Structure 1
Amino acid sequence: MKLERIPVFVDHCSKTYDDGTRGLQPTSLQVEPGEVLALLGPSGCGKTTLLRLIAGLETLDDGGRIRFGDQDVTQRPVEQRGVGMVFQSYALFPQMSVAANIGYGLRIRGVAAAEEKRVVGELVELTRLNGLESKRPGELSGGQRQRVALARAVAVRPRVLLLDEPLAALDAKLKESLRGELAELLRRLHITAIHVTHDQQEAMAIADRLAVMRAGVVVQIGRGEDLYRAPIHPFVAEFLGRVNRLQRTPGAVAQGLVALGGATLACPPDWRSHTTLLVRPEDIEVGPVGQPGWGAARVEQRTFLGDRVQLRLHAADQAGLLVDVARDTVFQAGDEIGIRIAPQHLMACQEASA
């Protein structure tokens, strides 16, 4: 099935509710043709509000514009915007077969039966639902229902596909197995898609880029790996995984150093003026105590997590540090160990106003 690939432009859009609550601060972003963009953030951050504005389910404040390609859809109702939507519940008709669910949108638009059958057959093939055409939703697995919902949403050839927490209702294990499948399906459809989620791993697995939101504001946009490794805001660093905060005294700042367990390491030139630096738990090395250039710390807690061991450390010149190490590590609570951080793993976050 050939679908239109268009960019989406959100220009200075905001939303204020009747009681004066600001659901979305003035926001601008662009979704590239055929791109999957995730709106990621905690509950109440404005991501669903932004999705509903794009869909036409909410009216935006004066002064904002939304364009699909070269068409201004700001004043168009949802039924005239050409969007397909997949909801958390999938909203499939339980009494209808898979084929009838997929073809429903075509049928109510008066599409000829032969054309409906052709499109449904094509989508059944594309979403790997072969042999399930006569089944009803209650007879399908969670992953199969998800594929039916996607197929139904794109059957009418929407210009933009909107997904509102499509995996939220699934248990953790099923969610993990289905996010890769959803990512593959979206790539095969080649459609511009906007995906709302509060799950960091889901967003990074599915989307080409992430727009991380907080308190009605898009804090940072970029590829998941770039946001994880080079956040520009402390919230982004802490929301996309875990971080340790390394504090620097005025003397250490003046000397361009970072103190770590009685040792020092050179601060990257770009971060010399920062009094706080960040480092991921997996980027702190541990080893025998007493190695030249290494700091020292004491293991306060050892937690086995299956694929890794998490150590909580106490170092004389830093607050408690979390470190992720291999699951076969010999270090136990009470041990004195050596610690080291490669300077290139240090991150500095510029505080923002939001």
Structure 2
Amino acid sequence: MVAKVGHSASSACTTVCAAACFWPLVGVYYCIKYSFKAAEATVGAGYDAYNRRRVRTRRLPKSKPLATVSSSSQSTTAPPVIGTTRTSFLHLPPEIRLHIYRLALVGPAIIQVRTHSSFWGPRPSTWDPAQGIRDDADAPSEALRRITRLGGSWLHPLVTPPSHGCVRYGAVSQLICGEGRHFVPGWVQPEKTAFPTDLMRSCRVVYGEVLDVLYAGNTISLFGADMARYFCRNASPEGLSRVRFVHVAHVMPSDGWDSSSHMKSVRASMRILRDALPSLRQLDVEVALTYGQPENPDKLWAWLREDVLGQFRDLERFVLKVSVYKHFRPDRPRGHEGWTPPYEPLSSWNDGEYQNLKDRVMSSG
């Protein structure tokens, strides 16, 4: 009997000791967990504020104009005499040099501009060689829908679905134009990457030719009005004059798109693109409304046609997509696809008026 009492006392003492050790460890774990989350939220808020200020105020100083020496004048010089003159890279025909640049810089591509480390990705294989934007028959961007539904924006184009237990999903890494996966950033493997700036520092002739490849040969994708203004204020003036293919995505709230500040911001950003890109030839505009049809869809449709896009002229290709995202709640977490909201066209969309808009912006004058 005494042995049983002693054994029970020993078991109770062990249980108390285990609890005394376990619960403090649980408390320490949760303290560390929520402290890290609070620190991460604080750092994220500070980074967002810095980026917003950077986008709205940063403006690079004007660069000196390029020397008026064209690559064609280089190619018309007399060929070197073997044995008497050393040959160099510039003695190659311009066509061969441009082909080498494209191989080194992996183009033509789609460049999604960011304040830091812009995304690069391939154009869809179904596009024609001269095609730099989407077709009218292409569906609106799935990547844009997922990013928007998960709370992403032009500040946070990389977002992930919420974790489900031990299951964690990767970030949405698709480009909002073309839907392709973006390339690994060059700074991850600098020893295997040819940076454009490395080539452009060699001489003024190569600088001008690489500008042609970077700006004229690639599609520039801009996420939001702020990013459009940021790009036009800080890109190379010589590069801006070469841009030919542009994709712009505007995400607007269905119940607040007609605020004076929002309308002014979108209209001004498109006007800046018109004035800063004299060589623009193909323009792809995607408008996404969150969530549901707006109260006055006719006013929105007229504003887009007349004020926002009616200011463009002399384009050879133009595409407009207006999507209305629907409210939805995923049944269960299913990765990226489970967080892609359905969409419908704008209720006031009119194919005849859209064709008239295309005719206007693709006419000269």
- TM-score bin, normalised by smaller chain: under 0.3
Point out the structure with the larger strand share: 1
**Higher alpha-carbon Rg:** 2
